[in-house]
Structure 1
């Protein structure tokens, strides 16, 4: 069908952004809110967003007026009766959404498609509350909607295939990239992103590394736009907690249970940027890691790239000695078994170079503070950002990255979404430099499989066991995933 008149119910930041997207594409938009006060706030969102676009040179004043002229605002849902499509953007409370869709079902013409912008709730449950479940789908925009290019189009087991296709085509007409997925909690982006963020809080609770060190490792080492704690504060800890609850309710996977620290912060009202304090906030900056140590000698006791590292340190003016102040072991696995073979095991740390900017420094149960401080000095001289971590499987970067990649493989193998759609969703929805399958193939399938085995051996977390598809491809000697 031709979508020319679109309704948007709920004109908060997200709903107003969605209305703007439709109006920019030349569609007539009816924006509905509960009362005059909420409607005025919605109008303010639209006016400020389009004004910013003019200030940045992205819109002319004439084009802005044209866009705003396409939007009609109302407090009466009856005004949506002639809409071809109605998109709901009210708070993420299932009972509220079901009540709204029942109301819309009685107001809108039979051929109208009803879409929910939910980020994680069951589209099937919403559809089942109407008399047109085949014409109810998910249309999940990302915030800010006028800027973010991704739309997740969510079909259910009763969705009319033509409707799903037509909504995906409409998203493309809006200038977005549409990925079509099934109705599972979190869809693609939140189902992969939130467990990774939750896992980061667990590693911090376990003392594997500190908040700032984890953020540095994932931003500078893994190349992500933000570290997990900065991103949690941006998303909102309450929103993240709610999504994890939805995931856990569906999967009963203990990794999806919100971490105790996340629950505690939400209960205390520390919700991130929206409340002024979350994982970050009103605290004095603390130096990362011990103070300078005055180390003068070192040794590199093996591992891939050991001699190259030794040469770099030697060129920087440090003296190599078999009994050095600090002994480094290049590895991405726990190094305590190597430390106990030394005359002085307190001097050994593991070193895992992540990209060309970060060095994870793994401290064993025997490592001294002086050795940690010395290793930090050595890495800083080389221009690397040192990240002290406990001597645990995967350290920080691999421990967070590999389970996320494994989840993506399981998602694809279940038939839930294609490789290309999963990669596009994570690039466009999260701003990642590469999708999970692109990253898997770049890192090497065998390396990721073996890293997952090490994580599983240490943590005994069933979800850390390599996905069967990944294991089979490595066994077959494959270096890429088959696209089908």
Structure 2
């Protein structure tokens, strides 16, 4: 099955990027838009994108001219009748897509493969709107399409295996890495990413930590490229809201219901960077260093206490037992159980260090603001970003990270995608330093299982209960997931 003539319907940011990807790979591309004005915008996007690549030395002038020369633009869908493949990249509204695919089915030759770039809508429903459901697939590119290496190839129960294989081969020809997945809302990347982002908004609403604190923990502590609220502003809060609604419509999992805060911001027109304001109204603030503190004495207990005490001693602070200005307790919660054993429980602050970059400071119902300020100052003097948070299961990092890992295990266990494809999707599609299974195995299966049990015991959220496969592997003494 050869693809040489490709149509792209919809030349917005994604569609223009997809057209560029095909043209870069040497394919003839026919770009289709609704009217002359939209067509001009699409042409401008193509020209600007290739001009940027030229300026950065990624294309020569001759290569840019050749790429643009392979793209023909039109306002007539009828011109697609000889295309070998047509990719749809119109707005994410199912009714619009159903009408378009019914029209493409009428126009295109019987052997043409029709593909949708939807990020979350049901590909099966789109395929069923045509008379060629076996030749309809999802082909989900990531933005910006010319740069991002991942493509999700979505097969349905109706898809012809030969068509799926041919599209996988095309993705390789385009220089992309394809992961092939079943037709579930959100596919792999969005199905794992968006509930994590939504959960961050829920933790903010619950007052577990501040916006800046949550972003700092996940960026500096968990090693993600962006904090959840920075990423939501980049994606667009309206886009995130729409994807969460699609997920909720399919799963009826209350974790997939858009958080009230997300809904409120979207209703108010606070959509993120596209509207100059979302969770942030400007660039995220940078943490301020502290080189001195009014704190003179401290005490510290728990795993790793002596090492932290040595660092604080070297910085000029004195360890002096319970009479200290602040008492630090390293380890996991419940921190309040340690606080009530002190003569003055208001002095105790829980501490969970993430390397030398960030520290979650767990504040109990008894902790004084003076103790929180003192603990924050000590961390800043050591060059560590302090993030005060409530004394809740998982604090911030584990409360957000462990359910995401659990979702990945359930996804794999359902036969929906392989371990390797899930890891690849999150690394290449979301820029994560490691995939969920790589992360889970590095953390330790038992630690993740026990952390999920603690989250479930506190929040009573069914999805926080450890996936049966995870529990079974821990019981069996396994340290990794099967890769076959």
> TM-score, length-normalised on structure 2?
0.98
The aligned residue for residue 396 of structure 1 is 396
Structure 2, gaps ≥5 residues long: none
Q: Judge conservation of contact 1:300–1:329 (CA < 8 Å) in 2.
A: yes
Number of the residue aligned with 1:32: 32
- Contact kept in structure 2, 1:213 and 1:288, CA below 8 Å: no
Give the Cα–Cα distance (whole angstroms) in 2 for the partners of residues 249 and 270 of structure 1: 24
Give per-residue Cα distances to partners, 1:102-130, cap 9 Å, x unaligned: 00000000000000000000000000000
Aligned equivalents of 1:347, 1:435: Cα separation in 2? 39
User: How far apart are 1:333 and its partner, in Å?
Assistant: 2.1
| Cα distance change, pair 193–321 in 1 and its aligned pair in 2 (3 A) | same
Give the 3-state SS of the residue equivalent to 2:82 in structure 1: coil
C-alpha displacement of 1:150: 0.2
Q: How does 1:89-108 map to 2 (within 5 A)?
A: 89-108=89-108
Paired residues of 1:168 and 1:178 also in contact (CA < 8 A):
yes
Cα gap change, 1:451/1:314 in structure 2, threshold over 3 Å: closer, same or farther?
same
Q: Distance in 2 between matches of 1:397 and 1:410?
A: 20
Matched, 1:317 2:316: yes
Change (3 A) 1:286 1:50: closer
CA distance in 2, matches of 1:48, 1:170: 25
Structure 2 contact 423–435 (Cα < 8 Å) conserved: yes
Give the CA deviation at 1:301: 2.2
Find the aligned partners of 2:291 and 2:388 in 1 and give their Cα distance: 12
Once the two structures are TM-superposed, the CA of residue 288 in structure 1 deviates from its matched residue by: 8.2
Residue 227 of structure 1: CA displacement? 0.3
Alignment map for 1:37-52 (pairs within 5 Å): 37-52=37-52
Structure 1 residue 283, shift from structure 2 partner: 9.6
Secondary structure at the counterpart of residue 274 of structure 1: helix
Partner residue, 2:379: 379
Report the CA distance between 1:334 and its aligned residue.
Answer: 2.3
Indicate the residue corresponding to 1:413 in structure 2: 413
Note if contact 2:290-2:380 (Cα within 8 Å) is conserved in structure 1: no
- Per-residue CA deviation, residues 255-300 of structure 1 (Å, 9 max, x unaligned), is 0000000000000000000011100006996988999861111111
The whole-number CA distance in structure 2 between the counterparts of 1:95 and 1:284 is 38
Contact 1:329 1:350 (8 Å CA) reproduced: yes
Q: Show structure 1 runs of 5+ residues with no match.
A: none
Aligned residue pairs, count: 483
The DSSP-based 3-state class of the residue aligned with 1:482 is coil
Whether 1:369 aligns to 2:369 is yes
Distance in 1 between residues matched to 2:456 and 2:139, nearest whole Å: 36
Which residue of 2 is the match for residue 193 of structure 1? 193
Native 8 Å contact 2:413 2:469 kept in 1: yes
Contact residue 13 and residue 45 of structure 2 kept, 8 A: yes
Task: Give 1:148's aligned residue.
Answer: 148
Q: CA deviation at 1:381?
A: 1.4
Partners of 2:289 and 2:383 within 8 A in 1: no
Shift of 1:313: 1.1
Q: Alpha carbons of 1:229 and 1:86: their partners in 2 closer, same or farther (altered >3 Å)? A: same
1:331-389 C-alpha deviation (Å, 9 max, x unpaired): 12220011011000000011001133111000000000110010001111111111111
Tell me the TM-score normalised to structure 1 length. Answer: 0.98
Partner of residue 460, structure 1 = 460
**How much has 1:252 moved relative to structure 2?**
0.3
Moved more, 350-359 or 117-126: 350-359
Separation of aligned partners in 1, 2:410 and 2:100: 34
- Tell me the secondary structure at the aligned position of residue 338 of structure 1: helix
Quickly say closer, same or farther: Cα 1:286–1:55, change in 2 above 3 A.
Answer: closer
Compute the displacement of 1:476 (Å): 1.0
Contact in 2 for aligned 1:5/1:27 (Cα 8 Å): yes
**Alpha carbons of structure 1 residues 179 and 345: separation in structure 2 relative to 1, 3 Å:** same
The runs of at least 4 consecutive aligned structure 1 residues that moved more than 2 Å come to 282-293
- Counterpart of 2:249 in structure 1 is 249
Contact 1:292 1:373 in 2 (8 A): no
Q: Aligned equivalents of 1:452 and 1:292: distance in 2?
A: 39
